[in-house]
Amino acid sequence: MIDYGFRCWSYYKRFFKFLTTREESGGCSLTVSGTDIEGNARPLPANSNPDMGVYENPAGNQIYHIIHVSTQGSNEEGDGSEENPFATIQYGIDYVASGDTVLVHPGIYPENIDFMGKELLLTSLFHFTYEGEYISQTIIDGSQNGSVVTFATGETEYSKLEGFTITNGSSNFGGGIYCDNLSQPILKNLLIIENISICGGGICCKGNSEPIIQNTTITNNSATSLGGGVYEWNSTPFLINCIIWDNSPDELNGSVNAFYSDISGGWQGEGNIEDDPLFANPSLGDYTLQENSPGINAGIDYFEWNGNVLINLSSDEYYGSAPDMGSYEFYENAITDNHFSDKTLSLKIFPNPLTKYTNISFSLNNSSTSAVIKIFNIKGELIKVLHCQNVVLQKGDSKNFSIRWNGTNMKGLNVASGVYLFALEIDKKLINLQKGLLLK
């Protein structure tokens, strides 16, 4: 028995049935079982820490984790941290608990993955930045060895796939993505391209599955029978803000519910169009939109169908008056290299990815009277101005400066995760620019 230093422990111990002991090297340690004194699950809610005392209160906060995957990682030696990531996506899925996030860094991952019923977010850096380049740079390649992604274990709307290129899958059903057995995942901002199957080259939905597919481009997929883009059998798939184009032998097959989408040959549904989406350069794999694309501002940010919310986007998730159709938002950043007069002057931000406090350093090597750091969001909107002190220099002088940003905007409110632009302005002239990624 553990000696806690008070003689009554032997008496009170019988009331603490949820406590057990286990031997470890060097002595005993206390562990917590799966229930409290009344048999309630512990911890409650799941993915939280146990409460103190004999009773478990369900009002606690759940603890979620971000598990990192990188082509430079290791399943054997990694721990899923950003510094020591895992090497494969499936290993990350198997490792996490419900409610966690698997964050996949840019690279090509030759895998055929299965959510195995887990409620998790599987995403690229797109989720935190809204930068479409991460969709193109983070590729799950099925190696023609089956469906690239499978949802066939009753996944719910809390099983989410976001921000990837899904390609080179080959199977009887669903070369790119296969949904079956009551699965209801959310598929968001995906480029599903060059997959093959008998039915459902891009996506196959069977077995009363109900996936919600948002802002996704499905193109250049093929089926030897039906549904080059999407195939439905005894299911209810929903497409919203999507582009379905150049799939063979057909774009959609079955009872597919599509809204505010651009579908070759047309498809019945509110907001749908059938105009050439005007991809930027599809022959080179560039499926972003040209500036005159009919898909720009043609989507919708909130939409219900029979009382079910199919999409609910915040204003941070799109540019312009409304979301675009397809995987990629079209925008022209308000801050470009043309704004800067001398990028030879150094500007550094550390750490990057950013944390709660970001150190911004720069050097001046000529006469100046003022220096400020202007921080913009990815839309080019000014969110913070940091004034640097004691920067008056004479001609020929040189000096290093540093200033800290605490992650707040001009109202003192914490900003959201995403990409931020740091501009150095000297004597009211923009001099240099650096980009940082804030993760929370």
Based on the fold, state whether residues 354 and 247 are members of the same structural domain.
no
pLDDT in tens, the chain (440 residues): 333 333 333 333 333 333 333 333 444 444 556 777 767 777 665 556 676 776 676 655 556 799 999 999 999 999 999 999 999 999 999 999 999 999 999 999 999 999 999 999 999 999 988 889 899 999 999 999 999 999 999 999 999 999 999 999 999 999 999 999 999 999 999 999 999 999 999 999 999 999 999 999 999 999 999 999 999 999 999 999 999 999 999 999 999 999 999 999 999 999 999 999 999 999 999 999 999 999 999 999 999 999 999 999 988 788 889 999 999 999 765 454 444 445 445 788 988 888 888 999 887 766 566 788 999 887 778 889 898 766 555 555 667 888 899 999 888 888 888 888 898 888 777 778 888 888 76
Q: Are residues 366 and 277 in the same domain?
A: no
The verdict on residue 100 lying in a domain is no
Query: Is residue 279 located within the same domain as residue 352?
Result: no
Extended beta strands in 115-211, E state = 121-124, 138-141, 149-151, 160-162, 165-167, 170-173, 177-179, 186-188, 191-193, 196-199, 203-205
308 within some domain:
yes
Domain that holds residue 417: 337-438
Residue 257 lies in a domain: yes
Residue 239 and residue 143 share a domain: yes
- Residue 231 shares a structural domain with residue 312: yes
- Cβ-defined contacts of 264-272 (< 8 Å, 24+): 271/298, 271/299, 271/300
Instruction: Judge contact between 90 and 120, C-beta under 8 A.
Output: no
State whether 119 and 255 are in the same domain: yes
The CATH code of the domain that includes 379 is: 2.60.40.4070
Instruction: Find the distance separating the first CA and the last CA of the chain, reported in whole Å.
Output: 43
Question: Is residue 56 domain-resident?
Answer: yes
Residue 69 lies in a domain: no
Q: Is residue 305 part of a domain?
A: yes
* In a shared domain, residues 37 and 173: no
In a domain? residue 253: yes
For residue 79, tell me if it sits in a domain.
no
Residue with the two structure tokens 């501002």: 297
- Domain shared by 244 and 303, yes or no: yes
- The residues with which 106 forms a beta bridge, in sequence order, are none
If asked whether residues 290 and 199 sit together in one domain, one would say yes
Same domain, 304 and 344: no
Which H helix or E strand runs over 134? helix 133-137
Based on the domain organization, do 206 and 270 belong to the same domain?
Answer: yes
Q: How many domains does the chain have?
A: 3
Cis peptide before 277 (omega within 30 of 0): no
**Global confidence as pTM:** 0.75
CA distances in angstroms from 367 to 29, 37, 399, 400, 402, listed in the order given: 65, 72, 11, 13, 18
Closest CA to 237 of 222, 247, 250, 227: 227
Of 317, 349, 366, the residue that ends a domain is 317
In tens, the pLDDT along 122-156 reads: 999 999 888 898 999 999 999 999 999 999 999 99
**Residues 117 and 263 both lie in one domain:** yes
